[in-house]
Amino acid sequence: MLGYAEIATHFRQQITDGELNPGDAMPSYSEASEQFGVNRTTIVRAYDILKSEGLIVSRPGKGTTVTSRPSVVISGLDRLDRLTRTGRRYGPGEDSTGHRVLRRSAYDAEVCRALEIEPGEEVVIRIRTFRQDGRPTSVGVSVYPPRTTNAVPELAEEERMEGFFGEPYTERTGREVTPGQRTGHARQASQDEIDALQLDVPAHVAVAVLVTSVTFHDEEGPLAYWEDVYAPGERVPMS
């Protein structure tokens, strides 16, 4: 028998995956009780979690519905998980813009350390801005060293990648791709990030942003460094 936290997780995933869309009615307490074989109190506790997260709302006489806009930003590994489960990169109201593909010499100490490359080594950088209902929420940056782009040369092309780079990489090399631990830290946003997130701040004013990063590996070493930079005030699910 599922507990209230597991039931909340079930509905949370349906909402973030787009199986339940903004404005959709949630099952009534009695319907959900029957669906999961639990008592009403368990469902009430599960729904209370989702309400506290801003995912659903109850109104007298109208029942419980999915809120009009998700209260959390899905990107990075969470977006990859959703793509694996559903085949969909975007949820309701989500899209991305500002796609750029650059070849640059890497000098950022964190990137060089994560990818185990020497400063000045050429990498491919892919950048895009994720949006929710037209509102920029995060900037995604992915960095690939030569051994990855040698196996997946389309990473260096201007066209958008429709799937996860690890799939063609594994098909072509026979080596599995595994994400490392995602970590987060705060830092000052660059001017490019301020512009991409459309933040209205005076010139030369420091803006603090949350950044999460993860490095992907195979058995021979690192393959990619992903970084997501979130607009101030956005809520980010952490796992």
Mean pLDDT of 98-102: 96
Mean pLDDT of 231-237: 87
Tens of pLDDT, residues 172-199: 999 999 999 999 999 999 999 999 999 9
In this predicted structure, the answer to whether residue 119 has a pLDDT above a threshold of 90 is: yes
* Domains recognised in the chain with CATH numbers: 4-66 (1.10.10.10), 76-230 (3.40.1410.10)
In this predicted structure, the answer to whether residue 160 has a pLDDT above a threshold of 90 is: no
Mean pLDDT of 113-127: 97
Check residue 193 and give its pLDDT: 96
Check residue 19 and give its pLDDT: 87
DSSP-assigned letters across all residues of the chain = ---HHHHHHHHHHHHHHTSS-TTPBPPPHHHHHHHHT--HHHHHHHHHHHHHTTSEEEETTTEEEE-SS-SS---HHHHHHHHHHHS-S--TTEEEEEEEEEEEE---HHHHHHHT--TT-EEEEEEEEEEETTEEEEEEEEEE-HHHHHH-GGGGSSSPP-S-THHHHHHHH----EE---EEEEEEPPHHHHHHTT----TT---EEEEEEEEEEETTEEEEEEEEEEPTT------
In this predicted structure, the answer to whether residue 69 has a pLDDT above a threshold of 70 is: no
Check residue 92 and give its pLDDT: 76
Check residue 181 and give its pLDDT: 93
Check residue 60 and give its pLDDT: 85
